[in-house]
Amino acid sequence: MVFWTRIACLLVTVAIYPTLFLVSIVIQYAKTSLPPGIEQPFKLRFYQSIMISLLLLVSVDLFWYDVAQLESVYRKVWMPDTSLLIQEQQFDGVPVKIYQPKKPAVTKRKALLFFHGGAGTYGNVAQRLSTLFRRRTDQQQNASIRSTNAGVLLAFCAMTVARKRPNADKYHTDASCVTVCGDSCGANFATKICQLLVDRTDVPKIQAQILIYPGLQGMDFYLPSYQQNKDIPLLWRKLVVYWTCRFLNKSTSVVNDVLEGRHVPEDIRTKYQKWVCADLIPEEFKVRGYKPQDPALRTFKPKVYEEMKQVLEVTFSPLFAENSVISKLPQACILTCEFDVLRDDGLLYKRRLEENGVPVTWFHAKKSIHGLAILFGYGQQEWLHSPAINLPY
């Protein structure tokens, strides 16, 4: 029954998708602004149209599972990867995909645990990891990469990391040399996991964290990057809160109120402004325009706060962690993109880490957008600036 349901979903999806794609093109041209001088604008608009069409499909849950598999199928058919041994496993019920070089290891390999993006609601372990790290893994011949679903509960994610030693022996990886990594909301998960485990003595210490355009706070959506890049692909300002509501299973009717900050009580705003504030963003990142929010626009609404108070907790907003936690974190590599609404989240976390003595390697892609990591690995279809980023391992 499940098989035939999936077949039916796929057939219906294929039948209606061309119409949805045409509608998406119209929406994209009406609502999207491209940065001046951006290269390959038509290819970028094409990618944005695909994303919008998937947003339209997601409203019909019946089709979503099959749509999430399309990229995986594309890669298997047109871009098979024969250099890696790929296994699908479950660690304590958490779906995990393991990538290892086929060449036998002489010594135990380093381990990298990757949490993919997708707003915690879209994607699977088969998608992003291979495009971002498989080439690097093949070159190193000394790394084992594990990708986990971003939609699982954070507690399960932490459990996966905490119990890696038995799995490390099985897969010939060094449990004392673990790097945690993620992109977008996956970077949020990776950040929080590092924070959760800093005082654990019963598990190996995480050696490093790699945060690729991370989203790290749910309080201030008027930071310069949110204003400057509000309509730039692939992540609009409004979509940040929309996907947050979807992830937390909240009503999307509060999106506009949250964007204006009406979910934040004054005492919480005052408490965390020392860490999340436009005044802390370097002036060079304000030259494209920034206007402080009119305080009258953020009139507090208790009902909105009750609905969305979870975004003001440190479990959702790792930027709110105390200095006593931040100071114990492992060394970090952070990638930010100039034309990304989440840019300033990364800049603010970089500042916090450095102020607490944590070594940070920072890469800033001056001509790139949110999602650049998923826009390469497609041959002629990849976006120009995507492969220009060199991530250390």
pLDDT by residue (tens digit) across 66-80?
A: 444 555 554 554 455
> Of 184, 225, 317, 368, which one is the catalytic site residue?
184
> Of 66, 116, 345, 370, which one is the catalytic site residue?
370
Tens digits of per-residue pLDDT, 205-248? Answer: 889 999 999 999 999 999 999 999 999 988 899 999 998 998 89
Torsion of CA 392, 41, 125, 338, to 10 degrees: 40
Report whether 137 contacts 84 (CB < 8 A): yes
Quick check: 342 pLDDT over 50?
yes
Most trustworthy range by pLDDT among 112-116, 124-128, 241-245, 366-370: 241-245
Token code pair at residue 340: 């990304």
* Beta sheet of 206-212, edge-to-edge order: 84-91, 94-101, 143-148, 109-115, 173-183, 206-212, 331-339, 360-369
> Residue 95: what pLDDT?
73
> Of 66, 340, 344, 345, which one is the catalytic site residue?
340
Catalytic residue status for 279: no
Question: Pick the residue with more confidence: 372 or 194?
Answer: 194
Quick check: 347 pLDDT over 60?
yes
Catalytic residue status for 130: no
Question: Which whole number is the average pLDDT over 166-174?
Answer: 69
Catalytic residue status for 370: yes
Looking only at the bridges linking them, the beta strands covering 84-91 and 94-101 are: antiparallel
* 360 secondary structure, DSSP code: E
Tens digits of per-residue pLDDT, 134-151? Answer: 444 444 445 555 555 544
Query: The whole model's pTM is what?
Result: 0.83
Instruction: Please provide residue 168's backbone torsions phi and psi, each rounded to the nearest 5 degrees.
Output: -60, -40
pLDDT band at 376; cut points 50, 70, 90: low
Nearest to 110 by CA among 138, 68, 144: 144
> Residue 79: what pLDDT?
53
pLDDT band at 255; cut points 50, 70, 90: very high
Helix (H, G, I), strand (E, B) or coil at 24: helix
| CA angle, residues 58, 59, 65, in degrees to nearest 5 | 35
Nearest to 381 by CA among 37, 81, 42: 42
